[in-house]
A and B are shown apart, each in its own frame.
Chain A
């Protein structure tokens, strides 16, 4: 495990460094533009069909786009269709009912026992890895492959992939679902069963025009009343462009004291929901992610 751990630490550690240790770190500098670079390194649940269909972002580079977003790290589940041990790696072919993809797990020469896979054909496994392309053939370089012990994970993963796909293509689910992702996913599944003919309404109820504002509101669920009030003001205030709003404007506009706004701002900054613009007392909503 130690040699193995070294490998994944390097790759994840590097990612963490770039991000400044936090999901929103990159966005602080470039505003909404910075979000792309951050998303690239985030781990995305996908189906194998999405991997096969991912469009190469730049020629000759191992960068792919799914739903218009750069994706490098992916996680998915699949059934092992074949295992072919090679000298430097083990190549698996995984099938999840949407497609088949090759997964390569590189072997550490110092660790003999790793060359024996812990699972057999016809078993489900979960893979965490990186999308790769080698002489026009796509595969996933696995960081970790683990057998799926509980079949629920297969359904759960596929629903999560659907959820993330819809999140990026149609916006976040409507109000009342700001809680755990698991609940949201389950709710989505039920609504699929109930309204099968109406695929468009799976997660986003109501008009699509509204979905951005709704997703913003969903983000502040669980925040303090002051923070929500300030967020609401920033969200609804006219010409809330890149310059943002000064603390005095927010205080008078939302009917809070400057001290309360300061408190609210601290909380929202802590969550990465807003960021400071012209100076430390001018805020705007961070909506780039």
Chain B
């Protein structure tokens, strides 16, 4: 394909995606200045960009690059509000499609 899609992953898969762009959906558990911790079926450490407006306790989707220390350099962040049923599902959803490789990217 022309340009590469950002793989939808959960927190526990992050080690397989170093250097690639990924998409993570989860719950913001901690927000400290320019870093956030996101629970997406596994903890993800995110280095936020200046214009990302996440809220602790809300659901969030981040798109960014996985750094060698397994944190994510965020390119785009989206606040999903507090109405996303069981935030962890985002991560679980990613797990579900990844486990069924015909539906998702090859590992």
Contact = CB atoms under 8 A, between A and B. Distances in A.
B104 A49 contact: yes
B65 interface: no
Contacts of A155: 25, 84-85, 89-90, 93
B47 interface: no
Contacts of A199: 99-100
Interface in B18-46: 23, 25, 41
A107 interface: no
A50 B104 CA distance: 8
A192 B5 contact: no
Contacts of B76: 122
A67 B102 contact: yes
Interface of A: 47-50, 52-53, 67, 95-100, 122, 150-152, 154-155, 158-159, 161-162, 165-166, 188-190, 192-193, 196, 199, 202
Contact of A99 (B5, B41, B59, B94): B5
Nearest to B90: A155
Contacts of A161: 97, 103
Question: Which bracket fits the contact residues of B?
Answer: 35 or more
Contacts of B5: 48-49, 95-100
Interface in B71-107: 76, 78, 80-81, 83-85, 88-90, 92-97, 99-100, 102-105
A155 B83 CA distance: 13
Q: Is the interface of B mostly helix, strand, loop or mixed?
A: mixed
Contact of B103 (A100, A150, A162, A193): A162
B2 interface: yes
Contacts of A159: 93, 96
Contact of B99 (A50, A53, A152, A192): A192
B3 A152 contact: no
B4 to A, nearest CB: 8
A215 to B, nearest CB: 19
A158 B103 CA distance: 9
A151 B59 contact: yes
5 contacts: A49-B104, A50-B103, A95-B5, A99-B1, A159-B93
Contacts of A100: 1-5
B96 A202 contact: yes
B6 interface: yes
Most chain B beta carbons < 10 A, residue from A152, A158, A192: A192
